[in-house]
């Protein structure tokens, strides 16, 4: 009995000629438009935040790997940054001549997802010094890890999303290296907190 009643209800529904009125469709489309106008910019900002985090973590882990490789292989490992192309290379320099020779390991990496080695004027580093270059290790854009894990110079690498350059530091990421220990640290920026790097 219940089955027959449901079958009749389904049949009536399928035979019904009623549809949506034009006003109902317009109201529904307006609601969808309003929700989209609110959600899409928020989704875009969320996506950009995850893009900068992903690329900054990639650089951080590659620097950690370079340091570990130097200790493990008992060779110097050079990390050279190209600020124009937004790339970097990791070179296990077994004969310490600064050039890539046959048999030496080389890894090329490219920043992706509109993330660049960049900074906005007025930002300071973790020691509250004014930043003058997105990548600086004693004025150079190269850091070398030796067989003891120490770095050739202390310094930092700053990354920004393309949409933040010249506009905001809120999603800036910094990777710092300490010369004496070769320690690599990952920092996020917050303009509302003191100190701003956490």
Residue-wise pLDDT tens digits, 116-170: 999 999 999 999 999 999 999 999 999 999 999 999 999 999 999 999 999 999 9
pLDDT in tens, 35-91: 877 877 777 778 888 999 999 999 999 999 999 999 999 999 999 999 999 999 999
- Average pLDDT score, the chain: 90
Question: The CATH number of the domain where 24 resides is what?
Answer: 3.55.40.10
The answer as to whether 40 is a domain residue is: yes
pLDDT at 7 over 70: no
Range of the domain at 98: 19-188
The answer as to whether 129 is a domain residue is: yes
The answer as to whether 7 is a domain residue is: no
The answer as to whether 106 is a domain residue is: yes
Instruction: Report the pLDDT value the prediction gives residue 35, as an integer from 0 to 100.
Output: 83
Instruction: Report the pLDDT value the prediction gives residue 171, as an integer from 0 to 100.
Output: 92
- Structurally, the chain folds into a number of domains equal to 1
137, 151 contact by CB (below 8 A): yes
Average pLDDT over residues 89-98: 91
pTM of the model: 0.80
The answer as to whether 36 is a domain residue is: yes
Provide the percentage of residues in the chain whose pLDDT is more than 90. 66
The answer as to whether 84 is a domain residue is: yes
pLDDT at 17 over 80: no
Instruction: Report the pLDDT value the prediction gives residue 3, as an integer from 0 to 100.
Output: 64
The answer as to whether 13 is a domain residue is: no
The answer as to whether 54 is a domain residue is: yes
Average pLDDT over residues 84-110: 92
């Amino acid at each position: 009995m219940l089955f027959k009643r449901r079958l009749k209800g389904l049949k009536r529904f399928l035979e019904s000629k009623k549809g949506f009125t034009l006003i109902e469709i317009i109201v529904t489309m307006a609601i969808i438009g309003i929700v989209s106008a609110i959600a899409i910019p928020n989704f875009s900002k969320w996506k950009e935040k995850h893009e900068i985090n992903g690329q900054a973590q990639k650089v951080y882990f590659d620097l950690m790997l370079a340091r570990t490789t130097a200790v493990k292989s008992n060779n110097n490992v050079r990390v050279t940054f190209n600020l124009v192309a937004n790339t970097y290379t990791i070179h296990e320099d077994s004969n310490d001549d600064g050039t890539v020779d046959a048999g030496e390991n080389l890894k090329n990496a490219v920043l992706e997802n509109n993330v660049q080695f960049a900074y906005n004027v007025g930002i300071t580093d973790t020691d509250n010094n004014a930043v003058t270059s997105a990548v600086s290790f004693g004025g150079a854009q190269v850091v070398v890890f030796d067989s003891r894990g120490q770095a050739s110079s202390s310094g930092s690498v700053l990354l920004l999303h393309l949409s933040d350059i010249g506009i905001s530091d809120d999603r800036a990421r910094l990777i710092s290296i300490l010369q004496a220990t070769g320690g690599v640290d990952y920092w996020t920026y917050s303009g509302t907190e003191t100190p701003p790097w956490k």
